[in-house]
Chain A
Amino acid sequence: MLDGVEILTTSGIVLWRRHYAPIPRSVVNSLVADVFIEDRRLQTGDTQQPPTSYRKDKYTLKWTRAKDVGLVFVAVYQSLLHLSWVDTLLTAVKTLFLKEYAPELAKPHLTKLDPARFDPTFDALVRKLDTGSTRRPSVPDSEGPGELTPPSSSASATEEAVDEPPPPPPPQPLFRKPTAPASQRDDTSTDATPVPTPDTSRPSTPASHLLTAKSGPGKASRRARKAQQSFGNSSAPASSGDESATGRAQAGKTGTAKAKRRWDADGFAVEGEEEVLDYSTAGATPSQADNAAGQREAADVPAVDSAQMGTRTPKGHFILKDLDDDISALLANPPHQQNHPPTQTTPSDPTLLTTATTKLTSLFQNILGNKSLTATDLRLPLAQMRTHLLAKNVAREAADRLCAAVEEDLLNRKTASFTTVDATLRQAMSSALTKILTPSSSLDLLRDVTATTTTTTGAGARPRPYVISIVGVNGVGKSTNLSKLAYFLLQNGFRVLVVAGDTFRAGAVEQLRVHVGNLSALARRGGGGSISLFERGYGKDAAAVAREAVGFAAGGTTTTANAGGGAGGVGLLFDVVLIDTAGRRHNDARLMGSLAKFSQWAHPDKVFMVGEALVGTDSVAQARNFAKEFVDGTGRLRNNGIGMDGFIISKCDTVGDMVGTLVSMVHATGIPVVFLGVGQHYGDLRGLNVGWAVERLMR
């Protein structure tokens, strides 16, 4: 019971779509963002193989791509169902679509296609594949030209096209309707699918909320509309939209004996029926005008000779002619099997002359460019590139994945003129590295701190201190980088509280005390901030110390801090709280488990993990194990399911060119690198310049 299929270009334009139920735009948008652009693997759990399905809210999405023409084919269905035929459907849709629109797709600058040519093909495909009893009539999308299907008809696909054309949809306020439960839409289902609860949550940004596709009037079945109203969004505009929907359906159905019942906002049936809210048709009364228009236009529709298009089977099914042969051939022999034989044929027994000429031509083509890249062309340069990356201290897993991505990208492309295969490969690898290292949204720490500590309206009700915590394995430089961060914040005039959350290691608290002393001396010389240390000695629970410290910084009264300083004015005592934690091995479950409790008690705004640039392949495992520990109260990973907020890569001055750890850690988790530690003094902290890093890696 598919919810919809969409075909879109890589530049985002939807070329063709078919919706059986209203699908919010954010679903496909998040598929594009999470899987294609950011390439997040965390949801599938399996990090080696490419993911084949994506889940978002209560939808599951499957997709396939046609790389050479830049198309993506997406199928959406409810997660509770398990549809096994979706993969076959997508492959068949891809092949047939490419065949049907081959001339248009060959042209550059494609922005629009005529969608109607593909509709019958698709309907035939679905009919063939969807053998379950859970089929439903298609709900045309509200943003298209709008085919109107009379609500409770289970008309076959070919008859839809010759139905009466729709009256123009009324202007409707752009409010999102709750999606109707799937089972109510289906008339003939015998599956015992549980009713999913309707999604009436209010999305956070008003803009996205208002722009989601509206389910058009009169296009849902009557039962579904009733369901929408009874689930009572209670907002008046939604119900007024439904009212006009019923008015629309009433006008659309010509010659039905029963009059439609309409419901108002309170759930009562409206008896007097003259009040139709749609004024868009110019005419005497809306219902009369629509009836007349419907009848007039029904007469205008040209007759269709059904025998040309297909045949009737003995059972009475009307099957389209050519398509059936195409489709059965396609389904019997899937294209991926057909592709295998050609690649396996190798030229047998080449003579000396042919090898010499092919070598010469390939050499010339290599220099001159415009060469179509095959797998054999790329094999050797890719192997060299992989070795190069490994020599730069990139983890093997990351190097393999990068090379696989670049190969997939370059296969069957033509090189530009006067560029060799090597140069093309380097260019592709540089852009892949840039894409991995560039963060989706850049971190502006000063802005965030200022916003949190001064805001009195909006999301945060009262100003509170900004909490940053630093985690990592033993000996990577957490305390040193924390002091560098404190120095940076002091130079910008903030009041900093350093919390000695490392209650285990000998000398940890004393080390921080020395740092705080140095920094307060530096702050006195210039800068305008103030710094203090909060410590509770050794042996205490780090989460408890952290919670106490945050409470103290927010202006708590009972506890006292050591080493006086920074008593602010009203409200907050400190602007920023920096929490140091104990180093822990990432494969020690007990120690890692205490991090979850720490994040739930301390509620850090930012969690930075420190990794040293010298670490080798262990970096991937470290990053992953740390990232999955940070769950909030509901068990979801904080920060939108990512876990941590950034990496600080320390000791970058000791590695020279071999900065591959950056790539390994970002590849493993998708978390961006925010700072680099470039020395052992307080001022040796830098932001990440992606161009510099990529240039170092490709050198």
Chain B
Amino acid sequence: MATSSPWLTWAFSPTISAILVTLVISLLLPVLVHSYLYRKATAQALPAFLLIGPSGAGKTSLLTLFANGTPSPTHTSQETQTATCQLPSSALASTDRYRSVNDHTHDQPQLLLIDTPGHGKLRHHALASLTPATALKGLIFVVDSAAVSSAAGLTETAEYLHDVLLVLQKKHTQSRTSKGSQGIAVLVAVNKQDLFTSLPVGLVRQRLEEEVARVRLTRSKGLLVDSGVGLTDDGEADDESNWLGQYGSKEFKFGHMEEYGVEIEVVGGNVKGEGEEKGRVDGWWGWIGENL
């Protein structure tokens, strides 16, 4: 049409300049859009390990030891703290297991440690970090082996361990994606082995298993904690889904959790040594290396 703008006519005409302009725009535009969207290089997500455990077990000290090489004095935590650490040369990462011993060209891998508060009121931080499917490679449950020798300390530790394992079990059985049902490795780090009143690792494991069995029994017989059940009919609480491990079994063993992809290993050590001794944490580093 004669009254239409001339550049529109030119744009649709088969002239060389029009073709060239089209080519330039169609090639450059995606490049520009890509460089704008990706202007900050997305950092490679480091493998993350979560430090969890009752108050006073030594989680924050462990974090400072792994991050700085020496443990700092600590007090009760109120917030989560993350730190990046590097695997020491004594531990072998599972990704490097086929390398030759004499191969020194690579760096030890880095990992992210997340420390959570252990106080009763702040445990939701920890349990909230468990549920999203981040790059959580493993869970380190720190236990105070001297507090476990008393009944109150054992109960508190076992209740927390029971809650954590139940969350993991539910994540495995009730997730709708295959990513959510991947297993997770759990290390029960028995800390404070240098103390005089500490129990040996095997005894701690046995006592924890018995106490967790008792806790799940009383939880199942206790009152329904679903306050909504009486007031509204939101559905029935499923007894089986709240039972840890094999339904109806009398004892609880850590091996029962393997069915839900949760592999539990119990290793002892101590963050702070007596006097001038350094802590012995090689077992824990070894486990981290295996699960990296």
Contacts and interface: CB of A to CB of B under 8 A. Distances in A.
Interface residues of B, number: 61
Interface string A417-442: 00000000000000100110011111
A422 B147 CA distance: 44
B195 interface: yes
A140 B9 CA distance: 86
Contacts of B122: 37, 435
A488 B223 contact: yes
B212 to A, nearest CB: 12
A111 interface: yes
A308 interface: no
B225 A678 contact: no
A440 B120 CA distance: 4
Given A440-B121, A678-B231, A687-B225, A12 B276 contact: no
A679 B124 contact: no
Given A442-B159, A446-B218, A447-B155, A17 B73 contact: yes
Dominant SS among interface residues on chain B: mixed
Interface stretch (B23-31, B77-85, B179-187): B77-85
Given A10-B78, A653-B230, A112 B146 contact: no
B153 interface: yes
Contacts of A206: 146, 149, 195-197
Contacts of A25: 73, 75
Given A678-B230, A692-B227, A11 B77 contact: yes
Contacts of B56: 29, 207-208
Nearest to B276: A171
A12 B119 contact: no
Contacts of B222: 444-446, 687
A207 B223 contact: no
Given A11-B60, A207-B147, A686-B227, A109 B197 contact: no
B189 interface: no
A33 B228 contact: no
Interface string B178-205: 0000000000000010011100000000
A652 B83 contact: no
A574 B150 CA distance: 27
A9 B80 CA distance: 11
Contact of A11 (B79, B120, B155, B230): B79
A652 B120 contact: no
B76 A210 contact: no
A6 B277 CA distance: 25
A678 B227 contact: yes
B213 to A, nearest CB: 12
A380 interface: no
A28 interface: yes
A447 B276 contact: no
B72 interface: yes
Contact of B64 (A6, A13, A686): A13
A688 interface: yes
B68 A492 contact: no
A675 B223 contact: yes
A112 B67 contact: yes
Contacts of B83: 109, 111
A208 B150 CA distance: 12
Contact of A169 (B153, B224, B275): B275
A676 interface: yes
Interface string A658-697: 0000000000000000011011000011111100110000
Interface string B114-126: 0101011111100
A28 B74 CA distance: 10
A289 interface: no
B42 to A, nearest CB: 15
A320 interface: no
A210 B64 CA distance: 20
Identify the 4 closest CB pairs spanning chains A and B, nearest first: A171-B275, A11-B81, A678-B230, A12-B77
Interface of B: 55-56, 60, 63-64, 67-68, 72-84, 115, 117, 119-124, 144, 146-147, 149-151, 153, 155-156, 159, 192, 195-197, 214-215, 218-219, 221-231, 274-277
